[in-house]
Amino acid sequence: MSDPRDRPEDPLQPSPDAPATEDELAQSAKLREALDDPGRPNDDAELARAMSSAWSPRDLSAEAHRTLVDKALLHHDARRRRNRVIRASFGASAVLALAAAVLLYVRSDRQPPETVHGTAMAISRSTQALFQDPFAPSGGESARIDRIAMARAADLRDNQFAKWGVR
Amino acid sequence: MKLGWLILAVAVSGASVALAGCRGEGSTTGCPSAEPAGPPVDEALMAFLSAARALHHEADVRQSANDTAGAIASLERLVALPAPTAVEVDEVIADARARLAELRLGRGDVDGADRDVLAGLQRVKGPTYFRGHLLEVEGLLEEARAGALADAGKSDEATRARAKAVDLLEEAVKVQERVIDRALAEGGKDGDR
């Protein structure tokens, strides 16, 4: 097996003994700063810290702790805002349903007592059913009111009897 | 879980809004009960019906004596009577308005007749013979208006009035047909009172 150092140098590969380029110097400075300040995002620094912690775990510095807590709270706040929106949607739906129900109750006709002494009461309703045929083009109004008044007089009599409990 | 609550909330909202709207339309179409619930028939309603009956007969007497103005006055009293809120009241007043319109039309008061018809139509929105009759009277009114316009040489306006008369009479027929269909479907309940 030959020593790699004995191989001829590849003109395309930089020499390991060559001085650091400007780019390499800048990257090393960034890494140094990221290692000093855990708040700075840097993948190489994260990897270095993880390897160091795996080899000799130690307590987090106060600054690193603060950074982690801030990050976690940032996510928590976002979730809390989302939850608030969902809860507000449900609340609005519930309020809408309640308002519609109140509207229904307020606008509903006066509800009659369905029964008195166990007897159904005659309620106000359309008189349409009293008439079998369309009205004549002219006349017939008095006959119609006669019929309506007689029908409702019978209803009123029934309701009175129901109230007195004699039916 | 959240989706379930969402569906429940939407369903409750939808049902409540639909029910509220159904009651507000004045029409019972699509509502849970085709027969709107009203208050029990009571003395106030009966008093109104008795007064209306008396005034219609009073108008008959005056009309038979060729006192059209007197008959109109009786019916004007009828439509101004204090009345409880009841379907019967609306229908009786609508019928009285139709009669008033016919009487006014007989005297050439087309605008007055028109006002009565429109006031009557406000009282009966659903498909009933009362509404159909009012539409029919309005159609006759437009027919009379068309004749008067033609006599006055206003042929374009007369044509429009004739077209309107035909539309109204057609609408009256449609309403009557709907009433008949419904009556046949329900088997004429309450008709033997």
pLDDT given for residue B32 in this prediction: 38
Q: How large a percentage of chain B has pLDDT more than 70?
A: 77
Residue A47 parent element (H or E): helix A43-55
Where in the sequence is the domain holding B127, given as residue range(s)?
42-186
B124 Cβ contact partners less than 8 Å away, ≥ 6 residues apart: B90, B91, B94, B130, B131, B134
For residue A131, is it within any domain?
yes
pLDDT given for residue A63 in this prediction: 80
Q: Is residue B96 within 8 Å of B56, Cβ to Cβ? A: yes
pLDDT given for residue B28 in this prediction: 38
Question: Using a CB-CB distance cutoff of 8 angstroms, which residues of chain B are in contact with residue A101?
Answer: 16
Q: How far apart are CA B58 and CA A165, in angstroms?
A: 38
Interface test with A, best of B1, B13, B102 (most A CBs within 10 A): B13
Could you tell me which residues are beta bridge partners of residue A131?
none
Neighbouring C-alpha atoms within 13 Å toward the C-beta of A2:
5
For residue A9, is it within any domain?
no
Where in the sequence is the domain holding A134, given as residue range(s)?
115-164
Neighbours of B38 (CB within 10 A): 20
Within the 96-155 window of chain A, which residues sit less than 8 Å (CB to CB) from chain B?
A: 96-97, 100-101, 103-104, 107-113, 121-132, 134-135, 137-138, 141-142, 144-146, 148-155
Q: Is residue B105 within 8 Å of B144, Cβ to Cβ? A: yes
pLDDT given for residue A19 in this prediction: 83
Q: Please tell me the total count of domains within chain A.
A: 3
For residue B59, is it within any domain?
yes
**A38 and A64 in a common domain:** no
Q: Is the model more confident about A93 or about B72?
A: B72
For residue A73, is it within any domain?
yes
CATH number at B122 reads 1.25.40.10
Q: How far apart are CA B149 and CA B164, in angstroms?
A: 13
pLDDT given for residue B33 in this prediction: 37
Task: Please report, as a single letter, which amino acid is at residue A141.
Answer: E
**A64 and A54 in a common domain:** no
Question: Using a CB-CB distance cutoff of 8 angstroms, which residues of chain B are in contact with residue A123?
Answer: 37-41
Q: Indicate whether A7 pLDDT > 60.
A: yes
Q: How far apart are CA A53 and CA B119, in angstroms?
A: 90
pTM, 2 dp: 0.58
Q: Indicate whether B16 pLDDT > 70.
A: no
Q: Indicate whether B15 pLDDT > 70.
A: no
Q: Two tokens at A111? A: 């509800």
For residue B24, is it within any domain?
no
Cα Rg of chain B, angstroms? 21
For residue B135, is it within any domain?
yes
Write the residue in B19, B38, B46 that is nearest to A104 by C-beta. B19
Q: Is the model more confident about B183 or about B58?
A: B58
State which of A72, A92, A108 marks the end of a domain: A108
Angle between helices B155-186 and B129-151 (to 10 degrees): 170
In 3-state terms, what secondary structure has residue A45? helix
For residue A11, is it within any domain?
no
Q: How far apart are CA B137 and CA B113, in angstroms?
A: 9
Q: How far apart are CA B34 and CA B192, in angstroms?
A: 19
Q: Please tell me the total count of domains within chain B.
A: 1
Task: Please report, as a single letter, which amino acid is at residue B54.
Answer: A
Q: How far apart are CA B84 and CA B81, in angstroms?
A: 10
pLDDT given for residue A150 in this prediction: 94
pLDDT given for residue B4 in this prediction: 55
Q: Indicate whether B26 pLDDT > 50.
A: no
Neighbours of A147 (CB within 10 A): 15
Q: How far apart are CA B144 and CA A116, in angstroms?
A: 53
Q: How far apart are CA A123 and CA A105, in angstroms?
A: 19
Q: Two tokens at B76? A: 């004007």
Task: Please report, as a single letter, which amino acid is at residue A164.
Answer: W
Q: How large a percentage of chain A has pLDDT more than 70?
A: 86
For residue A92, is it within any domain?
yes
* Tens digits of residue pLDDT in A38-58: 778 888 888 888 888 888 887
pLDDT given for residue B147 in this prediction: 93
Interface test with A, best of B7, B19, B28, B41 (most A CBs within 10 A): B41
Residue A119 parent element (H or E): strand A119-120
